[in-house]
Protein backbone atom coordinates (compact mmCIF):
# COMPACT_ATOMS: atom_id res chain seq x y z
CA UNK A 1 0.00 0.00 0.00
CA UNK A 2 1.56 3.27 -1.15
CA UNK A 3 1.86 6.09 1.37
CA UNK A 4 -0.38 8.97 0.31
CA UNK A 5 1.79 11.84 1.51
CA UNK A 6 4.78 13.76 0.27
CA UNK A 7 7.22 14.12 3.18
CA UNK A 8 9.41 17.19 3.73
CA UNK A 9 11.86 17.07 6.64
CA UNK A 10 12.99 20.09 8.63
CA UNK A 11 15.38 20.66 11.51
CA UNK A 12 14.97 23.86 13.51
CA UNK A 13 16.42 25.12 16.81
CA UNK A 14 14.30 25.04 19.93
CA UNK A 15 14.90 26.64 23.29
CA UNK A 16 17.84 25.48 25.38
CA UNK A 17 16.24 27.19 28.41
CA UNK A 18 14.25 24.24 29.69
CA UNK A 19 11.98 24.20 32.72
CA UNK A 20 14.33 22.00 34.74
CA UNK A 21 17.97 23.00 35.10
CA UNK A 22 19.40 19.55 34.32
CA UNK A 23 17.32 18.93 31.18
CA UNK A 24 20.35 19.98 29.11
CA UNK A 25 24.09 19.99 29.71
CA UNK A 26 25.01 23.26 27.97
CA UNK A 27 23.45 26.44 26.59
CA UNK A 28 23.77 25.05 23.06
CA UNK A 29 20.32 25.19 21.39
CA UNK A 30 18.47 21.91 21.08
CA UNK A 31 17.22 20.78 17.69
CA UNK A 32 13.71 19.74 16.71
CA UNK A 33 13.31 17.12 13.96
CA UNK A 34 10.10 17.74 12.03
CA UNK A 35 8.24 15.99 9.24
CA UNK A 36 5.68 17.80 7.15
CA UNK A 37 3.21 15.43 5.51
CA UNK A 38 1.53 16.90 2.41
CA UNK A 39 -1.28 14.85 0.80
CA UNK A 40 -0.54 14.04 -2.82
CA UNK A 41 -4.21 14.71 -3.58
CA UNK A 42 -3.96 18.29 -2.27
CA UNK A 43 -0.64 19.78 -3.36
CA UNK A 44 -2.36 23.14 -3.97
CA UNK A 45 -4.53 23.56 -0.86
CA UNK A 46 -7.29 26.10 -0.40
CA UNK A 47 -7.57 28.54 2.48
CA UNK A 48 -10.06 26.50 4.53
CA UNK A 49 -8.19 23.19 4.38
CA UNK A 50 -7.09 21.81 7.74
CA UNK A 51 -3.57 22.01 9.19
CA UNK A 52 -2.81 19.29 11.75
CA UNK A 53 -0.20 19.54 14.51
CA UNK A 54 0.52 16.09 15.96
CA UNK A 55 2.02 14.76 19.19
CA UNK A 56 3.37 11.28 19.96
CA UNK A 57 3.32 9.00 23.01
CA UNK A 58 6.38 8.52 25.21
CA UNK A 59 9.05 6.52 23.40
CA UNK A 60 7.02 6.19 20.18
CA UNK A 61 8.63 7.61 17.00
CA UNK A 62 6.42 10.03 15.07
CA UNK A 63 6.60 7.78 12.00
CA UNK A 64 4.55 5.08 13.78
CA UNK A 65 1.49 7.26 13.23
CA UNK A 66 1.84 7.31 9.43
CA UNK A 67 -0.72 4.48 9.02
CA UNK A 68 -3.19 6.62 11.00
CA UNK A 69 -2.66 9.54 8.60
CA UNK A 70 -3.20 7.21 5.65
CA UNK A 71 -6.52 6.02 7.07
CA UNK A 72 -7.55 9.56 8.00
CA UNK A 73 -6.97 10.76 4.45
CA UNK A 74 -9.11 7.91 3.11
CA UNK A 75 -12.02 8.51 5.48
CA UNK A 76 -12.08 12.32 5.91
CA UNK A 77 -14.53 14.12 3.62
CA UNK A 78 -12.64 17.41 3.92
CA UNK A 79 -9.14 18.28 2.78
CA UNK A 80 -5.87 18.45 4.70
CA UNK A 81 -3.24 21.11 3.98
CA UNK A 82 -0.48 19.32 5.85
CA UNK A 83 0.31 17.36 9.00
CA UNK A 84 3.22 18.75 11.04
CA UNK A 85 4.89 16.30 13.40
CA UNK A 86 7.94 16.92 15.60
CA UNK A 87 9.65 14.44 17.89
CA UNK A 88 10.15 15.81 21.41
CA UNK A 89 13.68 17.17 21.78
CA UNK A 90 14.76 14.17 23.87
CA UNK A 91 13.02 11.50 21.78
CA UNK A 92 13.08 9.95 18.32
CA UNK A 93 15.10 11.71 15.64
CA UNK A 94 15.24 14.88 17.75
CA UNK A 95 16.77 12.84 20.57
CA UNK A 96 19.44 11.50 18.22
CA UNK A 97 20.29 15.04 17.08
CA UNK A 98 20.50 16.26 20.68
CA UNK A 99 22.05 13.18 22.27
CA UNK A 100 25.30 14.83 23.36
CA UNK A 101 23.50 17.76 24.98
CA UNK A 102 20.60 16.05 26.76
CA UNK A 103 20.53 15.95 30.54
CA UNK A 104 18.59 13.66 32.85
CA UNK A 105 15.61 15.82 33.86
CA UNK A 106 13.11 16.34 31.01
CA UNK A 107 9.86 18.22 31.47
CA UNK A 108 6.79 17.42 29.38
CA UNK A 109 6.02 21.08 28.82
CA UNK A 110 9.36 21.82 27.17
CA UNK A 111 7.76 20.37 24.04
CA UNK A 112 4.79 22.76 24.34
CA UNK A 113 7.30 25.56 23.87
CA UNK A 114 8.99 23.64 21.07
CA UNK A 115 5.69 23.28 19.23
CA UNK A 116 4.91 26.98 19.53
CA UNK A 117 8.39 27.73 18.21
CA UNK A 118 7.75 25.43 15.25
CA UNK A 119 4.43 27.08 14.48
CA UNK A 120 5.98 30.54 14.62
CA UNK A 121 8.94 29.40 12.50
CA UNK A 122 6.59 28.16 9.79
CA UNK A 123 3.83 30.71 10.28
CA UNK A 124 3.66 31.32 6.54
CA UNK A 125 2.73 27.65 6.04
CA UNK A 126 0.78 26.65 9.16
CA UNK A 127 -2.51 28.45 8.65
CA UNK A 128 -5.95 28.11 10.30
CA UNK A 129 -7.96 26.07 10.78
CA UNK A 130 -5.39 24.27 12.95
CA UNK A 131 -6.31 21.02 14.70
CA UNK A 132 -4.14 19.40 17.37
CA UNK A 133 -4.00 15.59 17.42
CA UNK A 134 -2.13 14.15 20.40
CA UNK A 135 -1.59 10.74 21.98
CA UNK A 136 -0.88 9.89 25.63
CA UNK A 137 1.51 12.28 27.42
CA UNK A 138 1.58 14.73 24.51
CA UNK A 139 -2.09 15.54 25.22
CA UNK A 140 -0.86 17.33 28.37
CA UNK A 141 1.54 19.31 26.19
CA UNK A 142 -1.31 20.41 23.92
CA UNK A 143 -3.43 21.46 26.92
CA UNK A 144 -0.50 23.58 28.12
CA UNK A 145 -0.06 25.16 24.69
CA UNK A 146 -3.79 25.77 24.33
CA UNK A 147 -3.85 27.68 27.62
CA UNK A 148 -0.99 29.89 26.44
CA UNK A 149 -2.79 30.64 23.19
CA UNK A 150 -6.53 29.90 23.44
CA UNK A 151 -7.27 30.66 19.76
CA UNK A 152 -4.31 28.76 18.31
CA UNK A 153 -6.20 25.50 17.80
CA UNK A 154 -9.67 25.42 16.32
CA UNK A 155 -10.18 22.03 17.94
CA UNK A 156 -8.25 19.25 19.68
CA UNK A 157 -8.33 15.46 19.42
CA UNK A 158 -6.91 13.64 22.44
CA UNK A 159 -6.14 9.96 21.86
CA UNK A 160 -5.90 8.10 25.16
CA UNK A 161 -4.70 11.18 27.10
CA UNK A 162 -2.44 11.07 30.13
CA UNK A 163 -4.07 14.00 31.94
CA UNK A 164 -4.91 13.23 35.54
CA UNK A 165 -3.86 13.59 39.15
CA UNK A 166 -4.16 9.93 40.16
CA UNK A 167 -1.39 7.55 39.22
CA UNK A 168 -2.45 4.74 36.86
CA UNK A 169 -0.49 2.37 39.11
CA UNK A 170 -2.18 0.92 42.18
CA UNK A 171 -0.78 1.77 45.60
CA UNK A 172 2.17 -0.52 46.18
CA UNK A 173 2.22 -1.39 42.49
CA UNK A 174 5.00 -1.26 39.95
CA UNK A 175 6.55 2.00 38.81
CA UNK A 176 5.33 3.21 35.38
CA UNK A 177 8.99 3.63 34.43
CA UNK A 178 10.01 0.07 35.35
CA UNK A 179 9.47 -1.46 31.92
CA UNK A 180 11.24 1.38 30.11
CA UNK A 181 14.15 1.19 32.57
CA UNK A 182 14.71 -2.57 32.37
CA UNK A 183 13.88 -3.60 28.82
CA UNK A 184 16.65 -4.35 26.30
CA UNK A 185 17.90 -1.37 24.31
CA UNK A 186 20.94 -2.84 22.53
CA UNK A 187 20.97 -5.77 20.12
CA UNK A 188 23.69 -7.54 18.18
CA UNK A 189 21.98 -6.91 14.86
CA UNK A 190 18.93 -5.38 13.23
CA UNK A 191 17.54 -8.90 12.82
CA UNK A 192 17.79 -9.58 16.56
CA UNK A 193 16.17 -6.22 17.37
CA UNK A 194 13.29 -6.91 14.98
CA UNK A 195 12.85 -10.42 16.36
CA UNK A 196 12.54 -9.04 19.89
CA UNK A 197 10.00 -6.39 18.89
CA UNK A 198 7.77 -8.71 16.89
CA UNK A 199 7.68 -11.32 19.65
CA UNK A 200 6.91 -8.89 22.49
CA UNK A 201 3.26 -8.77 23.67
CA UNK A 202 3.35 -4.95 23.82
CA UNK A 203 3.88 -4.64 20.07
CA UNK A 204 1.87 -7.71 19.06
CA UNK A 205 -1.34 -5.77 19.77
CA UNK A 206 -0.35 -3.03 17.34
CA UNK A 207 -1.44 -2.75 13.74
CA UNK A 208 1.26 -4.44 11.64
CA UNK A 209 1.94 -1.23 9.68
CA UNK A 210 2.66 0.67 12.90
CA UNK A 211 5.03 -2.09 14.05
CA UNK A 212 6.87 -1.92 10.72
CA UNK A 213 7.34 1.83 11.20
CA UNK A 214 8.62 1.31 14.75
CA UNK A 215 11.20 -1.17 13.49
CA UNK A 216 12.21 1.13 10.64
CA UNK A 217 12.51 4.34 12.67
CA UNK A 218 12.59 3.33 16.33
CA UNK A 219 15.62 1.09 16.60
CA UNK A 220 18.62 1.16 14.28
CA UNK A 221 20.14 -1.66 16.45
CA UNK A 222 19.58 0.59 19.49
CA UNK A 223 16.55 2.70 20.40
CA UNK A 224 16.33 6.18 18.83
CA UNK A 225 14.65 7.29 22.06
CA UNK A 226 17.08 5.96 24.65
CA UNK A 227 15.56 3.94 27.44
CA UNK A 228 16.99 6.48 29.89
CA UNK A 229 15.15 9.41 28.28
CA UNK A 230 11.96 7.36 28.00
CA UNK A 231 12.14 6.35 31.67
CA UNK A 232 12.90 9.90 32.85
CA UNK A 233 9.90 11.11 30.83
CA UNK A 234 7.57 8.81 32.75
CA UNK A 235 8.65 9.99 36.20
CA UNK A 236 10.75 12.62 37.95
CA UNK A 237 13.01 11.78 40.87
CA UNK A 238 12.15 13.49 44.16
CA UNK A 239 14.76 11.76 46.28
CA UNK A 240 15.83 14.43 48.78
CA UNK A 241 14.85 13.37 52.33
CA UNK A 242 11.73 15.23 53.34
CA UNK A 243 12.95 15.91 56.89
CA UNK A 244 15.69 18.12 55.46
CA UNK A 245 13.19 19.96 53.28
CA UNK A 246 10.89 21.20 56.06
CA UNK A 247 11.47 23.66 58.86
CA UNK A 248 10.38 23.00 62.44
CA UNK A 249 6.87 24.25 61.68
CA UNK A 250 6.44 21.90 58.73
CA UNK A 251 6.74 24.63 56.11
CA UNK A 252 8.68 23.87 52.96
CA UNK A 253 12.21 25.19 52.88
CA UNK A 254 13.52 27.27 50.02
CA UNK A 255 15.60 24.29 48.85
CA UNK A 256 12.56 22.01 48.77
CA UNK A 257 10.57 24.52 46.72
CA UNK A 258 13.55 25.10 44.44
CA UNK A 259 14.08 21.40 43.67
CA UNK A 260 10.40 20.50 43.32
CA UNK A 261 8.48 23.66 42.38
CA UNK A 262 5.59 21.86 40.69
CA UNK A 263 4.56 19.41 43.44
CA UNK A 264 1.45 19.80 45.58
CA UNK A 265 1.73 21.25 49.08
CA UNK A 266 -0.74 18.56 50.09
CA UNK A 267 -1.85 15.54 48.09
CA UNK A 268 -3.72 12.28 48.55
CA UNK A 269 -2.12 8.86 48.57
CA UNK A 270 -1.77 7.72 44.98
CA UNK A 271 -1.56 11.22 43.49
CA UNK A 272 1.13 11.79 40.89
CA UNK A 273 2.28 15.06 42.50
CA UNK A 274 2.58 13.86 46.11
CA UNK A 275 5.82 15.37 47.43
CA UNK A 276 6.17 12.53 49.94
CA UNK A 277 6.97 10.14 47.08
CA UNK A 278 10.43 9.39 45.71
CA UNK A 279 9.16 9.45 42.11
CA UNK A 280 6.49 11.84 40.86
CA UNK A 281 4.74 12.93 37.66
CA UNK A 282 3.62 16.54 38.18
CA UNK A 283 2.94 17.34 34.52
CA UNK A 284 -0.24 15.29 34.12
CA UNK A 285 -1.56 16.93 37.32
CA UNK A 286 -0.86 20.43 36.01
CA UNK A 287 -2.54 19.58 32.71
CA UNK A 288 -5.59 18.29 34.59
CA UNK A 289 -5.77 21.57 36.55
CA UNK A 290 -5.63 23.48 33.26
CA UNK A 291 -8.34 21.41 31.55
CA UNK A 292 -11.10 23.69 32.80
CA UNK A 293 -9.62 26.65 30.89
CA UNK A 294 -9.27 24.92 27.51
CA UNK A 295 -11.23 26.86 24.91
CA UNK A 296 -11.15 24.79 21.69
CA UNK A 297 -13.68 21.98 21.23
CA UNK A 298 -12.12 18.70 22.37
CA UNK A 299 -12.74 15.15 21.17
CA UNK A 300 -11.48 12.35 23.41
CA UNK A 301 -10.88 8.85 22.05
CA UNK A 302 -10.38 6.34 24.85
CA UNK A 303 -9.38 2.69 24.82
CA UNK A 304 -11.83 0.47 26.68
CA UNK A 305 -9.00 -1.58 28.20
CA UNK A 306 -6.76 1.39 29.02
CA UNK A 307 -4.88 1.10 32.30
CA UNK A 308 -4.76 4.91 32.46
CA UNK A 309 -8.21 6.03 31.35
CA UNK A 310 -10.44 3.89 33.52
CA UNK A 311 -14.17 4.78 33.44
CA UNK A 312 -13.78 7.03 36.51
CA UNK A 313 -10.75 8.84 35.08
CA UNK A 314 -12.53 9.35 31.74
CA UNK A 315 -15.44 10.97 33.54
CA UNK A 316 -13.08 13.23 35.51
CA UNK A 317 -11.80 14.71 32.25
CA UNK A 318 -15.23 15.06 30.66
CA UNK A 319 -16.62 16.79 33.76
CA UNK A 320 -13.74 19.28 33.90
CA UNK A 321 -12.86 20.17 30.32
CA UNK A 322 -13.71 23.76 29.34
CA UNK A 323 -15.80 24.54 32.45
CA UNK A 324 -13.62 27.36 33.83
CA UNK A 325 -13.31 31.04 33.02
CA UNK A 326 -12.59 31.32 29.29
CA UNK A 327 -13.20 27.62 28.67
CA UNK A 328 -15.14 26.55 25.61
CA UNK A 329 -17.11 23.71 27.17
CA UNK A 330 -17.51 21.76 23.92
CA UNK A 331 -16.56 18.14 24.41
CA UNK A 332 -17.30 14.76 22.90
CA UNK A 333 -15.88 11.32 23.65
CA UNK A 334 -15.87 7.79 22.28
CA UNK A 335 -14.53 4.54 23.67
CA UNK A 336 -12.91 2.01 21.33
CA UNK A 337 -13.99 -1.43 22.48
CA UNK A 338 -11.13 -3.80 23.18
CA UNK A 339 -8.45 -1.14 22.68
CA UNK A 340 -5.69 -0.31 25.16
CA UNK A 341 -3.70 2.87 25.83
CA UNK A 342 -2.06 2.30 22.43
CA UNK A 343 -5.44 2.57 20.67
CA UNK A 344 -4.31 4.74 17.70
CA UNK A 345 -1.52 2.27 16.92
CA UNK A 346 -3.72 -0.81 17.45
CA UNK A 347 -7.07 0.23 15.98
CA UNK A 348 -5.80 2.47 13.21
CA UNK A 349 -8.87 2.42 10.95
CA UNK A 350 -11.40 2.77 13.78
CA UNK A 351 -9.47 5.69 15.26
CA UNK A 352 -9.22 7.42 11.88
CA UNK A 353 -12.95 7.01 11.19
CA UNK A 354 -13.90 8.66 14.45
CA UNK A 355 -11.39 11.45 13.90
CA UNK A 356 -12.83 12.01 10.42
CA UNK A 357 -16.39 12.36 11.71
CA UNK A 358 -15.23 14.93 14.27
CA UNK A 359 -13.17 16.86 11.72
CA UNK A 360 -16.14 17.03 9.33
CA UNK A 361 -18.17 18.74 12.06
CA UNK A 362 -15.32 21.06 13.05
CA UNK A 363 -14.56 22.12 9.49
CA UNK A 364 -18.20 23.12 9.00
CA UNK A 365 -18.08 25.08 12.26
CA UNK A 366 -14.85 26.82 11.23
CA UNK A 367 -16.41 28.01 7.97
CA UNK A 368 -19.46 29.36 9.78
CA UNK A 369 -17.25 31.18 12.28
CA UNK A 370 -15.06 32.62 9.52
CA UNK A 371 -18.16 33.92 7.75
CA UNK A 372 -19.39 35.54 10.97
CA UNK A 373 -16.09 37.34 11.54
CA UNK A 374 -16.12 38.59 7.95
CA UNK A 375 -19.42 40.40 8.47
CA UNK A 376 -19.21 41.27 12.18
CA UNK A 377 -18.79 44.96 13.01
CA UNK A 378 -18.32 46.04 16.63
CA UNK A 379 -19.00 49.66 15.64
CA UNK A 380 -16.20 50.86 17.92
CA UNK A 381 -13.84 52.09 15.17
CA UNK A 382 -13.74 54.21 12.03
CA UNK A 383 -11.23 54.78 9.23
CA UNK A 384 -10.62 51.04 8.74
CA UNK A 385 -9.90 50.44 12.40
CA UNK A 386 -7.51 53.37 12.88
CA UNK A 387 -9.76 55.69 14.89
CA UNK A 388 -12.37 55.60 17.66
CA UNK A 389 -15.94 55.73 16.34
CA UNK A 390 -18.54 58.31 17.30
CA UNK A 391 -20.61 55.51 18.85
CA UNK A 392 -17.66 54.53 21.05
CA UNK A 393 -17.17 58.13 22.18
CA UNK A 394 -20.85 59.00 22.65
CA UNK A 395 -22.36 55.77 23.98
CA UNK A 396 -19.73 53.46 25.38
CA UNK A 397 -17.07 55.42 27.26
CA UNK A 398 -19.53 58.08 28.42
CA UNK A 399 -21.62 55.44 30.20
CA UNK A 400 -20.97 54.30 33.79
CA UNK A 401 -18.80 51.20 34.05
CA UNK A 402 -21.72 49.14 35.37
CA UNK A 403 -24.06 49.96 32.48
CA UNK A 404 -25.99 46.83 31.56
CA UNK A 405 -26.45 45.52 28.06
CA UNK A 406 -29.91 45.82 26.54
CA UNK A 407 -32.03 42.71 26.76
CA UNK A 408 -33.85 41.36 23.77
CA UNK A 409 -34.12 38.50 21.35
CA UNK A 410 -31.22 38.36 18.92
CA UNK A 411 -30.82 35.74 16.21
CA UNK A 412 -27.87 33.40 16.60
CA UNK A 413 -25.10 34.04 14.10
CA UNK A 414 -23.66 30.50 14.38
End of a domain among 212, 245, 280?
A: 280
Indicate whether 333 belongs to any domain. yes
The alpha-helical segments, DSSP class H, found in 155-189 are: 178-182
Indicate whether 361 belongs to any domain. yes
Which regions of 182-330 does DSSP assign to beta strands (E)?
236-237, 279-280, 298-303
Exposed / middle / buried, residue 33 (Cβ in 10 Å: 0-12, 13-18, 19+): buried
The domain total for the chain is 2
Exposed / middle / buried, residue 135 (Cβ in 10 Å: 0-12, 13-18, 19+): buried
When the pLDDT of each residue in the chain is averaged and rounded to a whole number, the result is 91
Both 94 and 121 in one domain: the answer is: yes
What pLDDT, on a 0 to 100 scale, did the predictor assign at position 312?
96
| Interval 177-213: pLDDT, tens | 888 899 888 888 888 989 999 999 999 999 999 999 9
Both 249 and 174 in one domain: the answer is: no
Both 251 and 338 in one domain: the answer is: no
Both 157 and 246 in one domain: the answer is: no
Both 226 and 244 in one domain: the answer is: no
Both 53 and 126 in one domain: the answer is: yes
Q: Report which of residues 138 and 413 the model is more confident about.
A: 138
CA distance 296 to 365: 12
What pLDDT, on a 0 to 100 scale, did the predictor assign at position 252?
66
Bridge partners for 313 per DSSP: none
Which regions of 57-122 does DSSP assign to beta strands (E)?
80-86
Quick count: other Cβ atoms within 10 Å of Cβ 364? 11
Q: What CATH number did the domain enclosing 127 receive?
A: 3.40.50.1820
Is the bond into 319 cis (omega within 30 degrees of 0)?
no
What pLDDT, on a 0 to 100 scale, did the predictor assign at position 242?
64
Both 104 and 253 in one domain: the answer is: no
| Interval 96-143: pLDDT, tens | 999 999 999 999 999 999 999 999 999 999 999 999 999 999 999 999
End of a domain among 215, 246, 280?
A: 280
Nearest 5°: phi and psi at 190? -60, -35
| Interval 243-285: pLDDT, tens | 544 555 556 677 778 888 888 888 789 898 888 898 999 999 9
What pLDDT, on a 0 to 100 scale, did the predictor assign at position 244?
46
**pLDDT above 90 covers what percent of the chain?**
68
What is the residue range of 216's domain?
A: 5-231+283-369
| Interval 77-103: pLDDT, tens | 999 999 999 999 999 999 999 999 999
What pLDDT, on a 0 to 100 scale, did the predictor assign at position 50?
98
Indicate whether 120 belongs to any domain. yes
End of a domain among 280, 313, 347?
A: 280
Indicate whether 136 belongs to any domain. yes
Indicate whether 141 belongs to any domain. yes
Quick count: other Cβ atoms within 10 Å of Cβ 186? 11
Both 242 and 272 in one domain: the answer is: yes
| Interval 12-51: pLDDT, tens | 999 778 999 899 998 889 999 999 999 999 999 999 999 9
Indicate whether 392 belongs to any domain. no
What pLDDT, on a 0 to 100 scale, did the predictor assign at position 384?
83
Indicate whether 414 belongs to any domain. no
The full 3-state SS of 270-312, as one line of letters, equals: CECCECCCCEECHHHHHHHHHHHHCCCCEEEEEECCCCCCCHH
Both 255 and 154 in one domain: the answer is: no
pTM of the entire predicted model: 0.90
Both 302 and 191 in one domain: the answer is: yes
Indicate whether 399 belongs to any domain. no
CA distance 177 to 186: 18
Both 81 and 217 in one domain: the answer is: yes
What pLDDT, on a 0 to 100 scale, did the predictor assign at position 1?
65
Both 350 and 224 in one domain: the answer is: yes
CA distance 175 to 169: 7
Arithmetic mean of pLDDT, 342-364: 97
Amino acid sequence: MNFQFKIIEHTIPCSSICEYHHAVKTAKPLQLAIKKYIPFNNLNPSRDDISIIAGHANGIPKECYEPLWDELLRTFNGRIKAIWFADCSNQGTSGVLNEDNLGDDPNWFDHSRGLLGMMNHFLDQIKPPIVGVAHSFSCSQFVHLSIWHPRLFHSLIFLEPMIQVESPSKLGGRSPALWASTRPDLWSSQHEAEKYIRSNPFWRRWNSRAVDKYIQYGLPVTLTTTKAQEAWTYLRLNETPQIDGNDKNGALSRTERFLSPDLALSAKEGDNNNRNYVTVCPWSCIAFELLSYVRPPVFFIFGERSHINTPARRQDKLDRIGTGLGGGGQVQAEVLLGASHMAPLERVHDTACRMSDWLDIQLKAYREEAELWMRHDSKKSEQSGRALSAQWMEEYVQSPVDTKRERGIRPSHL
